[in-house]
């Protein structure tokens, strides 16, 4: 369980929130605090007051994988293979294990054709997939995705959603403006101006949002 208590950081104010294991999507307008909550959960930022605990442990003591909304900000290396392998190398993983782990993650994502490419030659969507592979290659305890689906098509987004649901990461926290993506989550959070508005099962949360921009088309037409 991710336990958030009396959290204050800039505009973000959350008195109490418990996030279960699985895939959680955070929705809300620009400036609502979605990315801020991800950054705090990743340990990139530290609360001004209050706490975030991931299974009883602070974020900076939890293995985290991060995918930025702007994929170029994720990339450190010029070749896709080196980018994906870099977290393993930074952790001094045995040399003979690195190709095995890289091969496993690129097969799961279906991006074997990208691994020898220069990153600067990739599309935004391809860079997101490389960044996602690098984030997943060490099987982090928490995976944080900041609107990654902005750069990929619906079919690929659906494929990644299935992969995330089946991954060994204890927690996947993602921000999205795509309500169809949000509808496939295990848990849904709506923020507004830094405040928690709704949190819970997606069907229960969306029941409060009929007639708003946050209501999925699939529910409107009964799919």
Whether the predicted pLDDT of 159 surpasses 90: no
State the pLDDT at residue 15: 95
Q: Average pLDDT over the chain, rounded to whole? A: 91
Predicted confidence at residue 66, as pLDDT, reads 92
- Among 121, 139, 157, identify where a domain stops: 139
Confidence of residue 1 (pLDDT cuts 50, 70, 90): very high
- State whether 191 and 149 are in the same domain: yes
- Type and span of the H or E element at 50: strand 49-54
Q: Are residues 148 and 223 in the same domain?
A: yes
Q: Report how far residue 2's alpha carbon sits from residue 4's, in angstroms, rounded to the nearest whole number.
A: 7
Residues 148 and 94 in one domain: no
Residue ending a domain, among 139, 160, 191, is 139
What mean pLDDT comes out for the span 44-67?
94
What CATH number is associated with residue 188?
3.40.50.300
Range of the domain at 86: 75-139
Residue with tokens 């990654």: 148
Same domain for 29 and 94, yes or no, is no
Calculate mean pLDDT across residues 81-90: 94
| Domain presence at residue 68 | no
What is the band of 223 on the pLDDT scale with cuts at 50, 70, 90? low
Number of domains in the chain: 2
Give tens-digit pLDDT for 19-53.
999 999 999 999 999 999 999 999 999 999 999 99
pLDDT band at 18 (very low <50, low <70, confident <90, very high): very high
Contacts of 157-164 with CB under 8 Å at 24 or more apart are 157/181, 159/110, 160/109, 160/132, 161/23, 163/108, 163/109, 164/23
The per-residue pLDDT for 185 is 93
Give residue-wise pLDDT tens across range 199-214.
999 999 999 998 888 8
Q: Which of 120, 139, 158 is the last residue of a domain?
A: 139
One domain, residues 43 and 153? yes
Given a cut of 70, whether residue 221 has pLDDT beyond it is no
> Inter-axis angle of helices 154-166 and 98-109, to 10 degrees?
130
Q: Are residues 91 and 125 in the same domain?
A: yes
pTM of structure = 0.90
């Amino acid at each position: 369980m991710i336990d958030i208590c009396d959290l204050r950081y800039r505009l973000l104010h959350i008195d109490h929130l418990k996030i279960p294991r699985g895939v959680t999507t955070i929705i809300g307008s620009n400036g609502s605090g979605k990315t801020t909550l991800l950054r705090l959960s990743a340990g990139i930022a530290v609360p001004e007051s209050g706490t975030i605990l991931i299974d009883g442990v602070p974020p900076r003591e939890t293995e985290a994988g991060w995918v930025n909304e702007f994929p170029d900000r994720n990339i450190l290396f010029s070749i896709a293979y080196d980018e994906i392998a870099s977290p393993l190398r930074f952790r001094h993983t045995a040399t003979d294990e690195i190709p095995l782990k890289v091969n496993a993650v690129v097969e799961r994502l279906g991006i074997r054709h990208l691994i020898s490419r220069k990153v600067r030659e990739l599309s935004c969507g391809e860079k997101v997939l490389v960044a996602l592979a690098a984030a997943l290659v060490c099987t982090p305890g928490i995976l944080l995705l900041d609107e990654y689906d902005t750069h990929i098509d619906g079919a690929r987004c659906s494929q990644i959603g299935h992969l995330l649901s089946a991954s060994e990461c204890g927690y996947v926290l993602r921000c999205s403006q795509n309500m169809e993506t949000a509808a496939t989550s295990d848990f849904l959070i709506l923020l507004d101006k830094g405040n928690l508005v709704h949190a819970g099962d997606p069907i229960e949360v969306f029941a409060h949002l009929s007639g708003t921009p946050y209501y999925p088309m699939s529910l409107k037409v009964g799919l």
